């Protein structure tokens, strides 16, 4: 074996000091690394604390806004859902404010602000509770009168000011703590690099370990920021969904109070334009012929036009019985009722069938620009609106049918006796207040029993229907023409004196006298009528007296030879 070079023995005496120095450097570097890592963890903990404080401030603001919005909605509508939401949110406000005070208790700057914010919030919530208690004790009108908008706005501005101060302080602390963390990271990296250069391979591993820990800390910091951003987006989406639910709930409540089709359509259009920006569209109803759908209303500035009349096979939604969505630029199958000259690359279209009890009664078509097309959540809300719209229109049509059947005589189309009894007293009171006359006409078909026995009941019904049409044609729009019973009719003529009533009655009598009835290819008639008249106030002051006197004059006209008009107190 060859001996070692002399030089190796020359450096041998330096090995132990070099190893000792390397060991000391390793220990020192390790100790410094441990201290640095702990500082980083502490810094990250404070950063996380700052984020929790900022998040708590945002939660408090959101809860206050929600409680104020729910309270205001309950004062405006009285809907129990808003009252329940308000009562659910109030405890959360107090709890979150208390949590914010606890989080900032160790900060001499933020702690007084948090306590001040707690006082302002308690004052504001007490005001909201006061209005709620007034509404519970009295009614919505009392609560609205008790509302002091200026004071409420002032309280809210103070709350916002304190919240803004606390956010600004926390953001300052956040920046300061992040800067301190970055400085500590930089110093630790320099120390590890120097230790690595002096201690060799062992320090390389230590540096890698510390660097990996540092990178993990930075990754956690980035993940925390991303999580905060995602949380903010989630809260925004939740707020939007909550607002949509509130609008849908308000729409459902108001829909139950709509009495006309125009009100239903206007409410629907207003709700849709509030939910989706720049939305436009049309509402169609199935005509009685069951052959086509007719546009009954449009809303918004149309981004794509649709035909006013369409057949069921011209719309994919009506064909399939489910919504048909055509996103902008999707290249899908457009409906035939859409304008083919409009580019679908920049417009989103949605057709929704209006269904009631499994039958399509209409169609709702909406369109929006491509950059504001409804997302999945919006489409779900619109689907619910379409469902409620279809049921509301069907219920309104049913109510109108039932109301017509309850107030109209099915044979003559005139009002029935029930309608007469309900409205004669009201019209008489109105004329009495305005010091105007009112005339009551009682009409009876002469020799109707003989006509019925001769030609049959079907011919008699045809005759009564003809008489009803002639009476309706000869009265004014404000008059009330009714079938009193059998072959007897009654006409209430508000604001018409005795002379005018006699002239109008003579026109009715003359029209019936020359009219004939075509029944089973036979021309029957003519027939005549006798008419008795009484006029308020000369002949009576109550509906009963006027009717009795007009009826007496009717029988007197029959006794004097029929086919004539007699007034209780007026003579030409």
Number of other CB atoms surrounding residue 115 within 10 Å: 15
Three-state DSSP class for residue 459:
helix
Spatial CB neighbours of 213, under 8 Å, sequence gap ≥ 6: 37, 40
Q: What is the dihedral of CA 431, 436, 439, 440, to 10 degrees?
A: 10
Q: Distance (Å, rounded) from C-alpha 459 to C-alpha 141?
A: 60
What distance, in Å, lies between the first and last C-alpha atoms of the chain? 161
Q: At 388, list the tokens.
A: 């409620």
Q: Distance (Å, rounded) from C-alpha 426 to C-alpha 472?
A: 21
Of 96, 127, 427, 487, the active-site residue reads 487
Three-state DSSP class for residue 569:
coil
Q: Distance (Å, rounded) from C-alpha 92 to C-alpha 138?
A: 26
Three-state DSSP class for residue 519:
strand
Q: Distance (Å, rounded) from C-alpha 476 to C-alpha 479?
A: 5
Q: Distance (Å, rounded) from C-alpha 544 to C-alpha 546?
A: 6
Spatial CB neighbours of 554, under 8 Å, sequence gap ≥ 6: 442, 443, 444, 530, 531, 532, 566
Tokens 């509508």, located at residue = 77
Peptide bond into 502 cis (omega under 30): no
User: Among this protein's residues, is 487 annotated catalytic?
Assistant: yes
DSSP secondary structure letters along 322-369:
S-EEE-TT------TTB-TTS-TTSEEEEEEEEEETTEEEEEEEEEEE
Instruction: Answer whether 489's CB lies under 8 Å from 483's CB.
Output: yes
Q: Enumerate the active-site residues.
A: 487
């Amino acid at each position: 074996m060859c001996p070692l070079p002399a030089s190796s023995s020359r450096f041998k005496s330096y090995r132990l000091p070099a190893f000792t120095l390397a060991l000391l450097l390793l220990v020192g570097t390790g100790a410094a690394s441990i201290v640095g890592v702990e500082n980083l963890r502490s810094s990250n903990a404070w950063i996380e604390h700052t984020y929790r404080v900022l998040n708590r401030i945002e939660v408090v603001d959101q809860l206050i806004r929600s409680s104020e919005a729910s309270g205001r909605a309950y004062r405006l509508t009285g809907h129990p859902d808003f009252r329940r939401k308000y009562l659910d949110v109030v405890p959360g406000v107090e709890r979150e404010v208390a949590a914010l005070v606890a989080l900032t208790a160790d900060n001499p700057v933020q702690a007084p602000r948090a306590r001040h914010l707690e006082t302002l919030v308690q004052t504001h919530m007490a005001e909201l509770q006061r209005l709620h208690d007034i509404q519970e004790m009295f009614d919505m009108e009392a609560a609205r009168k008790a509302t002091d908008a200026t004071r409420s706005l002032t309280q809210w501005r103070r709350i916002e000011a304190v919240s803004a101060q606390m956010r600004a302080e926390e953001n300052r602390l956040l920046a300061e703590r992040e800067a301190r963390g970055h400085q500590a990271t930089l110093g630790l990296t320099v120390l590890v690099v120097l230790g690595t250069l002096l201690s060799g391979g062992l320090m390389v591993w230590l540096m890698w370990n510390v660097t990996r820990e540092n990178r993990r800390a930075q990754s956690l910091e980035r993940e925390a920021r991303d999580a905060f951003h995602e949380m903010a987006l989630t809260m925004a989406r939740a707020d939007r969904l909550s607002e949509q639910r509130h609008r849908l709930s308000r729409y459902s409540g108001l829909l139950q109070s709509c009495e006309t089709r125009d009100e239903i359509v206007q409410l629907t259009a207003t709700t849709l334009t509030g939910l989706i920006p720049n939305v436009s569209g049309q509402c169609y109803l199935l005509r009685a012929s069951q052959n086509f759908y007719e546009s009954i209303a449009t809303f918004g500035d149309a981004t794509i036009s649709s035909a006013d009349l369409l057949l069921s096979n011209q719309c994919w939604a009506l064909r399939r019985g489910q919504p048909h969505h055509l996103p902008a630029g999707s290249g899908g199958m457009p409906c035939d009722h859409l304008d083919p000259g409009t580019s679908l690359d920049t417009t989103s279209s949605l057709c929704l069938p209006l269904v009631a009890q499994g039958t399509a009664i209409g169609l709702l078509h909406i369109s929006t620009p491509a950059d504001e097309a409804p997302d999945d959540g919006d489409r779900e809300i619109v689907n619910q609106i379409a469902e409620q719209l279809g049921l509301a229109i069907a219920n309104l049509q049913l109510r109108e049918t039932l109301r017509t059947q309850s107030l109209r005589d099915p044979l003559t189309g005139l009002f029935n006796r029930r309608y007469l009894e309900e409205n004669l007293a009201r019209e008489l009171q109105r004329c009495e207040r305005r010091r105007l006359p009112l005339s009551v006409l009682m009409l009876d078909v002469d020799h109707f029993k003989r006509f019925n026995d001769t030609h049959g009941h079907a011919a008699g019904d045809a005759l009564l229907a003809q008489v009803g049409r002639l009476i309706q044609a000869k009265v004014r729009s404000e008059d009330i023409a009714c079938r009193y019973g059998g072959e007897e009719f009654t006409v209430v003529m508000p604001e018409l004196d005795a002379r005018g009533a006699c002239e109008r009655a003579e026109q009715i009598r003359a029209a019936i006298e020359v009219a004939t009835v075509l029944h089973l290819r036979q021309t029957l008639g003519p027939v005549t009528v006798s008419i008795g008249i009484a006029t308020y106030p000369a002949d009576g002051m109550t509906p009963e007296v006027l009717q009795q006197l007009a009826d007496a004059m009717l029988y007197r006209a029959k006794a004097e030879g029929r086919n004539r008009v007699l007034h209780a107190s007026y003579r030409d």
